Amino acid sequence: MPCELCDDTGWKAVTANGVRRVVRCDCWRQGATTRLLDDARIPPRYRGCDLETFLTYPNDKLTAAVRRARRFAEEFPGGEAARKGLCLIGPPGIGKTHLAVAVLRRVILTRGARGLFYDTRDLLRVIRSTYDPSIRTTELEILRPVMKADLLVLDDLGAEKTSEWVEETMNLIVNTRYNERRATIFTSNYMDIPDDTDPNSLLFRIGVRMRSRLHEMCEFIQMDGADYRELPANGGVDDLVTLWKMRRKTLPSRAGRTARAQLREPAVRDGRADLKWPGGRAGS
Ligand SMILES: Nc1ncnc2c1ncn2[C@@H]1O[C@H](COP(=O)(O)OP(=O)(O)OP(=O)(O)O)[C@@H](O)[C@H]1O
Ligand SMILES: [Mg+2]
Ligand SMILES: [Zn+2]
């Protein structure tokens, strides 16, 4: 059925202050937003993510991260809170990707922004597969949307151990976006500690130049919480709190002596100790 307002021309007439003019029809606007969302490459699993469905529980870091993400989305582009990008860091399953996608979708829907999502490894794989020694990386067609997106989400930074090529390519992307003042939201499992010998540090994974650039262009947000993937199907906030508490007990190096004492508790001794964190997914 053709649009009642514009008969599918995409233009409709409006009268304002006695002056009649032609503007874009609502249906066109809706179509444009749908196209923008489709172009953003958000993985199907995350297509429904928004800030409203993100569950919070008494967890200061988590609630602060959500608040910060919301402000970013509200002030994007141009506002103070969106002047820098965000770098969401923390253990698996706490909702880093969810939060990043929620912001991305929000700015697409409310600002008509050109948004783009890439898993960092996927991006590097795509660049590699189109690699042509006769073309400089800077001129790669595939990189154009990555450079030009109003907001880019680079998910799982550091998942691929850096090499000279990776570092050069990532630096090019990050630098170009930085110079053109385009915001980027990163997520990572790797702790931002200044130890370049620890294979679980972000510094070890992405190199000193990239980390330094990142600090300049992003606000680092340390997150912490329960692994949402372990929440039972009918679980709720109470279960998240329990899961989070259990997880904290398994982090003796960070939580100190009290936690080490608690490690003797049977629930933790027999329970699933999350050995990936601290340490991200070093094995993958
Ligand atoms: N607080 C939350 N409220 C609602 N859904 C959540 C929340 N946290 C996580 N999820 C959901 O749990 C799943 C895992 O979250 P997500 O993928 O964002 O975790 P992550 O922190 O990015 O993990 P990883 O480090 O493994 O990439 C997703 O389906 C996400 O939508
Ligand atoms: Mg993730
Ligand atoms: Zn119409």
- pLDDT, tens digit, 9 for 90 and up, residues 42-51: 999 999 999 9
Provide the token pair at 94.
Answer: 């706490």
Q: Ligand 2 centroid vs 193 CA: distance in angstroms?
A: 20
Alpha-carbon gap, residue 122 to 33, rounded angstroms: 25
Question: Which among 251, 276, 259, 226 has a CA at the least distance from the CA of 59?
Answer: 226
Taking the CA of 223 as reference, the closest ligand is: 1
pLDDT in tens, 197-244: 888 899 988 888 889 899 999 999 999 999 999 999 998 899 999 999
pLDDT of residue 168: 85
The closest-lying atom of ligand 1 relative to the alpha carbon of residue 54 is: 3
Taking the CA of 229 as reference, the closest ligand is: 1
Quote the Cα angle for 91-95-98, to 5°: 140
Question: Which residues have any ligand 1 atom within 6 Å of their CB?
Answer: 45, 49, 53-55, 92-98, 156, 187, 189, 228-229
| Contact indicator for 128, 92 with CB cutoff of 8 Å | no
| Contact indicator for 25, 13 with CB cutoff of 8 Å | no
Residue 183 has pLDDT above 60, yes or no: yes
The closest-lying atom of ligand 1 relative to the alpha carbon of residue 53 is: 4
pLDDT confidence tier of residue 268, bands split at 50, 70 and 90? very low
| Contact indicator for 150, 160 with CB cutoff of 8 Å | no
Please state the pTM of the whole predicted model. Answer: 0.83
